[in-house]
A and B are shown apart, each in its own frame.
Chain A
Amino acid sequence: MIVQGLAFYMFAAILVASAVMVISARNPVHSVLFLILSFFNAAGLFILIGAEFVAMILVIVYVGAVAVLFLFVVMMLDIDFRALRSGLLRYLPIGGTVGLILLVELAVVLGAWAVAPEATTGVAAPLPPPEITNTRAIGQLIYTQYVYLFQASGLILFIAMIGAIVLTLREREGVRRQNITRQVSRRREEVVAVRKVPTRGGV
C-alpha cells in the first residue's frame, strides 16, 4: 500500500509540475517535451488504478502521435510565442475573474449532483469477471459483438485516407523522385567512364 501511495504521489507531483512547465516554458519545444512527460505520468496514474488499456492508449496515441505532431507543428510554423504571451499581466484580472466565476458555478452544479431516477432503471453494462484484464475484455467485445462496427470504422478511416490523398496530393513538375530499383540496378559501366588525361594537357 505504501509503495502504491508513494508511486501515486510521485506520478501526481511530476504530472502537475510538468503541466505547469508546459504553459510556462519559454521555448515552445520544451513545452511539448514537458507535455510528453506529463502524458507519461498520467499513464502511470492510470496503471495505478488498474486501467492499463487507457494507459497504453495514452502512451501510443498521445505520446506517439499527437505530441510528435505538435512538435512538428511547433518546429515548422514560425510563431513568436513570446509575442503571444506578452499580454499576460494585462489580461490576468479579467481572465481570472471569468475562471473564478466558472469554478463557483461548477461547484454549485456538482454540489447538487443527483442521478435521474429514470437513468438508473436502464440496464447497466455487465462488468467482466475480475480475472480478465480490461484490455482483454475490450478485445473480446470489439472482435466479437462489435466486429461490424470495428470493421466499418476501419472503412471510414480508409475513406478518410483516400480523401486526404485525392484532395491534397499534386503531381509537381520537376520533382526528383527516388527510384530504388534504378539506384540498385545501376552498373559501374553506365556511370563511370575512365579517361586517360595526359599530364599538363587538361581535359
Chain B
Amino acid sequence: MAQVPNLIPALPEIFLAVAAMALLMLGVFRGDGSTRLVSWLSVAALVVAGGLVLAVGGPREVTLSGLFVMDRFGVFMKLLVLLGSALTLILSMTYVEREQMSRVEYPVLIVLSTTGMLMMVSANDLISLYVGLETQSLAAYVIAAFRRDSARSSEAGLKYFVLGALSSGMLLYGSSLVYGFAGSTGFDRLAAVLAAGSVSTGLLVGLVFVAAGVAFKLSAVPFHMWTPDVYEGSPTSVTAFFAVAPKVAAVALFVRLLIEPFGSLVEQWRQIVWFMSVGSMLLGSFAAIGQSNIKRLMAYSSIGHVGYALVGLAAGSELGVRGVMFYLAIYIFMNIGAFAVILCMRQNGRAVEGIQDLSGLSKSHPMLALAMAIFMFSMAGIPPNAGFFAKLFVFQAAIEAQLYVLAVIGVLSSVVGAYYYLRIVKVMYFDDAVEPLDRAIPAESRVLVAATALFTLLFFFVPAPLLEGAANAASSLFAG
C-alpha cells in the first residue's frame, strides 16, 4: 500500500481551495445580496491561509512525491501574494457594488486564483508549475471579463485568454523539450542532471520556451503586448488585483525556476533575463509618457517595475534574489495605495479613469492628493520613499554581479519614468479642476490609503524586518 503523503506543507492551499468551495456554496444559497459577506469571509480565509503559511513554513520540505516544496522563500512569497489578494479584495468591495457587478463569484474567483498562485510559488516540478499557473490564469481570465455587458471588459477577458493560452502552449512545448533532453520534470532531478553533465542545445531551446511562457505571465518585454489592453479594459478593481498578486506569484515562480533547476545554466539564461529586463525598463518608461488613461499608465508602470525586479534576477546571486523579493514587497504596497486612490476616482457617481480627471485633487481631497503624491514619488524612486530603497538594492546586486550596463540603463530609465510619475503630481497640484471628484470615499479605502502611504513614507525608519525576511528567504533558495 502506498503511504499517504505528508499534507502539512500544502495546508494553506488545501484550506484555500476548500474555503473557496464553501464560500461558493454560501453565496449560491444566500444570493448576490451576500457578496459583501462573502468578500469579508474570503478576506478572512486569506488571512487564515497566511497564518497557516507561517505555521507550516520553516526549513525546506518536499512532499507529494516531490511535486510540492515549501521553504522560507515560499513563505515570504506566499505571504506577499496573500497580502496583495486580501488588500485588493477589501478595496474592490465598494467598487463592485457601485458598478453593479456585485456577484458572489467575484471574491470566490479571487480566492481560487490566489490558490493557484500559492501552488505556483510552491511548484517543484514542471507539471505542478503548469497546473498552478493554469489555476491562477483561468480564474483571472474570468474576472477580467467579469463585467460581461461591457464590450471592453469582454474584450480584455478574451484577449487575456487567447494570449494566455498561447503562452501556456509555449510553456508546455518548452517543458516537453526539457523533459525529453533531461529525462525528468522534477526540479531536484533537473538540477542534479544539469549540474552533472554537459548541456544540450535542445534543452536550451526548451529553457527559452519555458522562459517565454513565464514572461507572458510576468508581462515582461517582449511579451507585454496584452498588458495595457487588459489593464484598461478590465474593471478597475480587477486591474488592481492583476497588478499585484499574479505579478508576485509569476516572479516568484520565475526566480525559483531559474535558480533551482536551471541554476547551473546561469550564464545561458542571464542573457535572456538581461534582455527582458532592459526591454521592460525602457518600454515601461517611454511608452507610458504619452498615456492619458491612468489604468494604461499603471500597466506600463507595472511593465517597468517588472523590468527593475528582473535586474536583481539577472544578477543571479543571493543578493540579487533578495533585491527582487524586497522590490516586490515594496511594489505591492505602492501599487495597492495607488489603485486605492484610482478606485476613488468618480465624477457624479460614475467611475472615471483619465489622468486629467485628477486635476485639482489637492484642493478637493488634500489628503488623497498627498497620499497619491507619496506613491508617485516612491514609484519614481525618489528618496526617502520606500521605492528608492527597492531600486537601490536591485541595482546594488547588479553592480556586484558586474552588470554595469544593466544598472546604468536602469538608472537612466527610472529618470525617464520619473517624468510621468511627477506629471500626475503636477496635474493634481497645479492644474485647475474641470469638475471635482466625488467626495464620498469608502472607509476601507481611507484606511488602506493612509496605511500604505505611511508605510511607503516611513519605511526607512524600520527597514530591518522586511530586509531580514527577504535575506532569510533568499538564502533558503541558495542553500540546497
Q: State A145–B125 Cα separation when bound (angstroms).
A: 13
Instruction: Tell me whether A159 and B142 are in contact (CB under 8 A).
Output: yes
Instruction: Tell me whether B131 and A156 are in contact (CB under 8 A).
Output: yes
Chain-A contact segment, one of B101-109, B258-266, B344-352, B380-388: B101-109
Contacts of B67 on A, CB cut-off 8 Å?
146, 148-149
User: How many B residues, CB 8 Å from partner?
Assistant: 39
A144 at the interface (CB under 8 A from B): yes
Contacts of A153 on B, CB cut-off 8 Å?
131
Instruction: Tell me whether B135 and A149 are in contact (CB under 8 A).
Output: no
Q: Which of B16-48 contact A (CB under 8 A)?
A: 17, 21, 24
Question: Of the candidates B139, B180, B182, which one forms a contact with A159 in the assembled complex, judged by CB atoms under 8 Å apart?
Answer: B139
B128 at the interface (CB under 8 A from A): yes
Instruction: Tell me whether A118 and B184 are in contact (CB under 8 A).
Output: no
Q: State A18–B181 Cα separation when bound (angstroms).
A: 40
Question: Of the candidates B5, B141, B181, which one forms a contact with A163 in the assembled complex, judged by CB atoms under 8 Å apart?
Answer: B141
Instruction: Tell me whether B181 and A166 are in contact (CB under 8 A).
Output: no
Q: State A160–B138 Cα separation when bound (angstroms).
A: 7
In the complex, residue of chain A having the shortest beta-carbon distance to the beta carbon of B2: A144
Instruction: Tell me whether B65 and A119 are in contact (CB under 8 A).
Output: no
User: How many A residues, CB 8 Å from partner?
Assistant: 25
> How distant is A148 from chain B, measured CB to nearest CB, in Å?
4
Contacts of A159 on B, CB cut-off 8 Å?
109, 112, 135, 138-139, 142
Q: Which of A139-157 contact B (CB under 8 A)?
A: 140, 144-149, 152-153, 155-156
Instruction: Tell me whether A149 and B24 are in contact (CB under 8 A).
Output: no
B51 at the interface (CB under 8 A from A): no
Instruction: Tell me whether B108 and A162 are in contact (CB under 8 A).
Output: yes
Instruction: Tell me whether A147 and B142 are in contact (CB under 8 A).
Output: no
> How distant is B285 from chain A, measured CB to nearest CB, in Å?
35
B200 at the interface (CB under 8 A from A): yes
> How distant is B23 from chain A, measured CB to nearest CB, in Å?
11
> How distant is B450 from chain A, measured CB to nearest CB, in Å?
34
Question: Of the candidates A118, A121, A146, A155, which one forms a contact with B135 in the assembled complex, judged by CB atoms under 8 Å apart?
Answer: A155
> What sequence of 0s and 1s flags, for each residue 198-228 of chain B, a beta carbon within 8 Å of any chain A beta carbon?
0010100000000000000000000000000
Q: State A159–B200 Cα separation when bound (angstroms).
A: 38
Q: Which of A151-184 contact B (CB under 8 A)?
A: 152-153, 155-156, 158-160, 162-163, 165-167
Q: State A160–B148 Cα separation when bound (angstroms).
A: 16
Whether A167 touches B145, Cβ cut-off 8 Å, given contacts A119-B181, A122-B183, A148-B68, is: yes
> What sequence of 0s and 1s flags, for each residue 113-126 of chain B, a beta carbon within 8 Å of any chain A beta carbon?
00110010000000
Instruction: Tell me whether A155 and B2 are in contact (CB under 8 A).
Output: no
Whether A166 touches B202, Cβ cut-off 8 Å, given contacts A122-B180, A152-B135, A159-B112, is: no
> What sequence of 0s and 1s flags, for each residue 20-41 of chain A, a beta carbon within 8 Å of any chain B beta carbon?
0000000000000000000000
Instruction: Tell me whether B142 and A166 are in contact (CB under 8 A).
Output: yes
Q: State A45–B420 Cα separation when bound (angstroms).
A: 66
Contacts of A123 on B, CB cut-off 8 Å?
183-184
In the complex, residue of chain A having the shortest beta-carbon distance to the beta carbon of B13: A152
Instruction: Tell me whether B127 and A149 are in contact (CB under 8 A).
Output: yes
Q: State A147–B116 Cα separation when bound (angstroms).
A: 16
Q: Which of A93-151 contact B (CB under 8 A)?
A: 116, 118-119, 121-123, 140, 144-149
Contacts of B337 on A, CB cut-off 8 Å?
none
Instruction: Tell me whether B142 and A118 are in contact (CB under 8 A).
Output: no
Question: Of the candidates B127, B148, B202, which one forms a contact with A167 in the assembled complex, judged by CB atoms under 8 Å apart?
Answer: B148
Contacts of B127 on A, CB cut-off 8 Å?
146, 149
Please name 6 pairs of A and B residues whose Cβ atoms are closer than 8 Å in the assembled complex, sorted by A. Answer: A122-B184, A144-B2, A148-B5, A149-B127, A163-B138, A166-B146
Beyond contacts A148-B5, A153-B131, A156-B135: 10 other A-B pairs, Cβ-Cβ < 8 A, are A119-B181, A119-B202, A122-B182, A123-B184, A147-B5, A152-B128, A152-B132, A159-B112, A165-B105, A166-B109
Complex A-B, nearest 4 residue pairs according to Cβ-Cβ distance, in ascending order: A122-B183, A163-B142, A144-B2, A148-B64
